[in-house]
Amino acid sequence: MKKNYISNSQDSVRMFKSDLLEALSKVHFTVPLFIFVPVIGFCIYKSFELSLGIVTFFEFFALGLFVWTLVEYIMHRFVFHYVPEGKAWAMRLHFIFHGVHHDYPSDAKRLVLPPSVSIPLATGFYFLFNAILPANYIFGFFPGFILGYLFYDISHYAIHHFNFKGSIWKKIKQHHMLHHYQDPGKGYGVSSPLWDKVFRSDFIKK
């Protein structure tokens, strides 16, 4: 297997000549909380304003959490790790979206999605699920989906920068570190190894 370049430096590598684009590519790990916790709160408020019902709300909230885990796996495996061959512009795009993280996994400013990416993605998913779900059920589903995203983003930062004591967190961290340092073609689940087990992309852990 070809050995990939990996730097353990916590410094950021410059990706853009433009200072504006460079600034937009970096983000403090708490920024997603300031953006999306109010979104969760608004959706919860709307669900009760529209009399969605407490049981229905929690059913769709749990469904949103569950769907996020699958979306996380699919995007990481088939979007972030899609590496086109022979096209310089496509390789450049891959590096900007995810390749830089594998080359510089300790870069603290590129461990959560910047708002320039997360907000358009969240907006697109909102309209997609709103078109699929029954009327107003989006306000139960979407806060669960966004909470799943926040857990993924913050836990991704923690995996790279925190030392865990609990056995569950140690296993989650081990799973992701194997993805970085053993085989990037396996272990696509970050917040959970569930779908790696389902789709047989898990590591054989001793």
User: Over the stretch 188-205, which tens digit does the pLDDT of each residue have?
Assistant: 999 888 999 999 988 876
Q: CA 53, CA 66: separation in Å to the nearest integer?
A: 20
Query: 0.85 exceeded by the pTM?
Result: yes
In a domain, 2, yes or no: no
In a domain, 170, yes or no: no
Q: How large is the angle between the packed helices 31-49 and 138-161, nearest 10 degrees?
A: 160
In a domain, 153, yes or no: yes
In a domain, 19, yes or no: no
Q: CA 43, CA 140: separation in Å to the nearest integer?
A: 7
In a domain, 204, yes or no: no
In a domain, 61, yes or no: yes
In a domain, 177, yes or no: no
Q: Is 136 a residue whose pLDDT tops 80?
A: yes
Q: Is 2 a residue whose pLDDT tops 60?
A: no
The answer to whether 189 and 195 are in contact (CB under 8 A) is: yes
Instruction: For residue 138, give its domain range.
Output: 27-164
Q: CA 105, CA 100: separation in Å to the nearest integer?
A: 8
Place of tokens 């910047």: 114
The answer to whether 177 and 95 are in contact (CB under 8 A) is: no
Domain count for the chain: 1
In a domain, 54, yes or no: yes
User: Over the stretch 87-133, which tens digit does the pLDDT of each residue have?
Assistant: 776 677 777 777 777 778 878 787 888 898 899 999 999 999 999 99
Give the single-character DSSP code of 108.
Answer: G
The mean of the pLDDT values for the chain is 86
Q: CA 196, CA 4: separation in Å to the nearest integer?
A: 22
Q: Is 21 a residue whose pLDDT tops 50?
A: yes
Q: CA 190, CA 151: separation in Å to the nearest integer?
A: 10
Nearest to 60 by CA among 129, 151, 152: 129
Q: CA 159, CA 177: separation in Å to the nearest integer?
A: 8
In the Cβ-directed half-sphere of 112, how many Cα atoms lie within 13 Å?
24
132, containing H or E segment: helix 115-132
Could you tell me the CA-to-CA distances from 51 to 126, 127, 140 in Å, in that order?
Answer: 20, 21, 11
